[in-house]
Amino acid sequence: MFNLDERYRGLPATREQILALHTSLNAPHVAIPGKQAGPAQAFVVGLRGGQGTAAVFVYLYLAEAADCAVYLSGRRNVSADEYRDDEGDALAFVESLGFMMDDANWRAMAPEQQDEQLKTLPVFFKDPTLVPAVVARAEEKKNVTTTLGRFLAAF
């Protein structure tokens, strides 16, 4: 069972902490309690904890709202067998929301590719408003508003 946890805004992690990464192939329209409904991307991330434990997170990124929702399993710091069960449950959970998921094969990626994923995927940012596309879109809106204002002021 996965529950929304408002305390999380992102999952900044190191390459070594990441056990698995699954990304959505589509962006269905989702409604999350307390958030603006819209298209979302889903990520299922397995993170290594201390002393051989692990945890599975479901991260839904709402690009239009520059917001996210992070879901956690009821179990934290699980063993390897429990981790596999939680990972399967997480994938079933996001698929029930309409997402088609793909295993990114994190462990098979070259370190350079992993670093690129850490710098570009919204799930690994501390806050969804810091995602480069969101920042660029905000600047673009600001420029359009300024240009429109200048244009209208010319009359």
Has residue 140 got a pLDDT over 50? no
What are the strands, taking DSSP E only, across 25-149? 29-30, 38-39, 41-48, 54-62, 67-73, 101-103
Pairing of β 18-24 and β 2-4: unpaired
Write out the two tokens for 49: 């904890």
pLDDT value at position 142?
A: 45
Q: What's the pTM value of the predicted model, to 2 decimals?
A: 0.82
Percentage, residues of the chain above pLDDT 70: 85
**How far is the first Cα of the chain from the last one, in angstroms, to the nearest whole number?**
60
In DSSP terms, 2 is beta-bridged to: 73
The backbone torsions φ and ψ at residue 62, rounded to the nearest 5 degrees and listed phi first, read -105, 90
- Distance, CA of 51 to CA of 129 (rounded, Å): 32
- pLDDT tens track for 44-69: 999 987 777 889 999 999 988 989 99
Number of domains in the chain: 1
Q: What stretch of H or E contains 101?
A: strand 101-103
Structural domain containing residue 45? 2-153
Query: Helices in 56-131 by DSSP H: which ranges?
Result: 80-96, 111-120
